[in-house]
Structure 1
Amino acid sequence: MRARRLRASLKGWGGVAAMTVVCALVAVFALCLPLPGAHDGGAAGTVDGRAVTQATRTTAVTAEEDCEAPEKQTLPPSSADGDTIKAIKNRKSEKRKLIVGVDQNSYRWGYRDPNSGKTAELEGFDIDLVHRIAQDILGDPKAVQFKAIPTDQRIPAIKDGRVDMVVRTMTINCDRIKDVAFSAPYFKTGQQVLVPKSSPITGYDDTLAGRRICTAAGSTAYSTLEADKKDGELPGSTDISGTVPNQLDCLVRLQLGEADAVVTDGALAASQAAQDPTVQLKGEAFTAEYYGVAMKKDADDLVRRVNQILVDYRQDTEKGWQASYEQWLSATLGKDAKKSEPPAPQYLRTT
């Protein structure tokens, strides 16, 4: 377990110190050289008023070459329309909508509230972001065709062209950036353990020995468990075979006694604990992970546009990221949003 925590600490934003040392050794002569503007669709510029340095470009590598920081392997922001965005804008009449894969069962993220007094429209933190993207690209926050996508179908839906993007609590990781392109992170979380309140399990530790853990197929949680079991960082007797298409199905299995624990993103687990007072999170998050908007690998203009939207969204103090957090997530994750704030974006992908 200690090895897992060490490895997690060197990944993502938690590994900034380690990355800084590497960059200092590799690019010591290239630090702090300013680049041209970013809003012309080019691959350089400023972010929130801070210069993107030449060192950033020097250390940029493809996902296949190095994946120590997958959340940084994205393109610089731009407001320019490219072929992908033009194709979306050229859709005729009722089809002129942004097609987005979302969840409809994740409480406070993407779900239908039957008690909302409306028509049970989709709402939540992810849904707010979708509306903001549609507003920017099509001039109408409601110009969206939502498609409910199971956890294990997120990448196939993008690659097959069924959706323009997926905004569905999707963790940016090394395996996924080989298949799809991600935006800069819009949320920080980490894997945690969810169990019944009466359970003797204390967290991601040896108390999982002989226990049945449920995860969603194709999820970061499952790949983490699989790797840790192979490396001996998870007890060998732990049963991780209980996978389901949708993450919420794990909560049902837990309620039915068909699983002893659920491993998933802490942000999602907190929402599930809010839905069911008989379960609770045990132990601290044992990874550092980031949600991103996923798009087709070659949709460069759309990736750049979404990254520009995210910059503006975070700066908007009235109707942006912070306001959405307060409305949807403060009740389950706490009023202090700092631990969930995404890191200052770095755009290391150049092509």
Structure 2
Amino acid sequence: MFVRRMRASLRGWGGVGAMAVGCALALAFVLLLPLTQSRGEGGQGEGLGGPGLATGSPAKADDCTDSRAQDETWSPSGADGSTIDAIKARTGAKRKLIVGVDQNSYRWGYRNPNTSDAELEGFDIDLVHRIAQDILGDPDAVQFKAIPTSQRIPAIQDGRVDMVVRTMTINCDRLKDVAFSAPYFKTGQQVLAPKSSSITGYNGTLAHKKICTAAGSTAYAKLDADRKSGKLVASADISTTVPNQLDCLVRLQLGEVDAVVTDGALAASQAAQDPTVELKGAAFTTEYYGVAMKKGATDLVRRVNQILVEYRADGWQASYDKWLSATLGADSGASKPPAPQYLRTS
């Protein structure tokens, strides 16, 4: 009955009901079954995690600092290697790039219900198509798999996907488990709360408030570390974690939590959908999104970095204008990552 009432109030993607319905679908299907989509026939990937993968030296994270983690990647190269060869060796309907994405983050990776096949759209999805075009010669040669926030790294390590393009922050802890491209977006953690809330930002107004974060997210790691160090008020309750970040918004809408902490870029899109919530205060971290890949797949990382060099020059701004300017502003300067550095040599 609750879902039917919320459906009745749905007006495109602009209402609270859309978010609740989207979350319900995610909980019912996405977390249990891998989603496959291409604009043709989908199929399970071949060669993932198999002998075709490159066996280069893994990234060393021992000397990594989070302020420079985005630079811990390899220099660009357009050359193929054993990882890319394995992807290209897939045949027939299986000759696709297999990519972990989100399907519930508005304007990043989400299903547009106004299209005939509820196609995946957004800023991250544009980048995936560009990568597929370069590697396989076809922007639609993609098998999308919906990956919860908490499963991004396991999906790469288990060989379920070739890469994850899902608003994934580069940091030192993650570099111990996966390899990253150079950054393609700059953001920071912010607080999202009802407009009527007394919360004013990441400060003492969070005392005795219930805060929701996604399991395995940099938001939870930051809150946990800050509470231990005394930077976050001790009475703030950070025990509510969910598999997908969008689930936090639904809990906020239902009154089960008082605030959400997530990347400002994502929070801005959520605030645009729900007129009852808003960002509270400025970003209190600086973070960079990167494409995550398997450790040892150095040729694939180098190839993606080469693609990003070209994409930043031709494609990035058009995608920003299309998907993000309405929520983050026409000036994309604050969202552009700095000129990439390539510190990895082995």
TM, length-normalised to structure 1: 0.81
1:348 aligns with 2:343: yes
User: What's the CA shift for 1:63?
Assistant: 1.5
Partners of 1:92 and 1:67 lie apart in 2 by 41
Q: Please say if residues 188 and 264 of structure 2, whose CA atoms lie closer than 8 Å, have aligned partners that are also in contact.
A: yes
Match of 2:60 in 1: 62
Structure 2 Cα separation of the partners of residues 121 and 196 of structure 1? 30
- Give the partner amino acid of 1:142: D
Name 2:113's counterpart in structure 1: 114
**Letter of the 2:74 counterpart:** L
Partner of 2:107, secondary structure, is coil
Query: 1:62 Cα shift?
Result: 3.1
- Note the aligned Cα RMSD (angstroms): 1.1
Aligned amino acid, residue 276 of structure 1: D
Q: Secondary structure at the match of 1:323?
A: helix
For these two proteins, the number of residue pairs brought into alignment is: 288
Distance in 1 of aligned mates of 2:113 and 2:329? 24
Contact 2:288 2:337 in 1 (8 A): yes
Q: Once the two structures are superposed, what CA deviation does each residue of 1:21-59 show, in whole Å capped at 9, x if it has no partner? A: xxxxxxxxxxxxxxxxxxxxxxxxxxxxxxxxxxxxxxx
State the AA in 2 paired with 1:91.
R
CA contact (8 A) 2:72 2:342 kept: yes
Cα displacement (A) at 1:66: 2.8
Aligned residue in 1 for 2:291: 293
Report the Cα offset of residue 205 of structure 1.
Answer: 0.2
Does the residue aligned with 2:240 lie in a helix, a strand or coil? Answer: strand
- Equivalent residue for 1:94? 93
**Alpha-carbon distance between aligned partners in 1 of 2:344 and 2:202, rounded to the nearest angstrom:** 34
**CA distance in 2: counterparts of 1:140 and 1:198, whole angstroms:** 48
- Displacement of 1:113 in angstroms is 1.0
- How far residue 275 of structure 1 moved from its aligned partner, in angstroms, is 1.1
Q: Which residue of structure 2 lines up, in the alignment, with residue 325 of structure 1?
A: 320
Q: How far is 1:350 from its partner?
A: 1.1
Distance 2:284 2:65 in 1: 19
Equivalent position of 1:185 in the other structure: 183
CA contact (8 A) 2:202 2:281 kept: yes
Q: Which residue does the alignment assign to 2:39? A: none
Which residue type is aligned with residue 111 of structure 1?
Y
Deviations 1:267-324 (A, max 9, x none): 00000001111000000000000000000010000000000000000111xxx00000
Contiguous gaps of at least 5 residues in structure 2: 1-58
CA–CA separation in structure 1 for the residues paired with 2:62 and 2:323? 36
Once the two structures are TM-superposed, the CA of residue 119 in structure 1 deviates from its matched residue by 1.4
Local SS of the residue matching 1:313: helix
1:214 aligns with 2:208: no
Deviations 1:186-221 (A, max 9, x none): 000000000000000000000001100000000000
- Aligned partner of 2:79 in structure 1 is 80
What residue number does 1:105 align with? Answer: 104
Q: Unpaired segments of 5 or more residues in structure 1?
A: 1-60
Amino acid at match of 1:238: A
C-alpha distance in structure 2 between counterparts of 1:215 and 1:246, whole Å: 9
Paired with 1:239 and 1:173, the residues of 2 have a C-alpha distance of 25
TM-score (norm 2): 0.82
Identity of aligned residues (%): 78
Q: d(CA) in 1 for partners of 2:71 and 2:246?
A: 29
Shift of 1:65: 2.1
SS for the counterpart of 2:172 is coil
By how many angstroms is 1:64 displaced? Answer: 1.6
Q: After the TM superposition, list the runs of 4 or more consecutive aligned residues in structure 1 that deviate by more than 3 angstroms.
A: none
Distance in 2, Cα, partners of 1:237 & 1:144 = 46
Instruction: Please give the alpha-carbon distance, in whole angstroms, between the structure 2 residues aligned to 1:163 and 1:201.
Output: 39
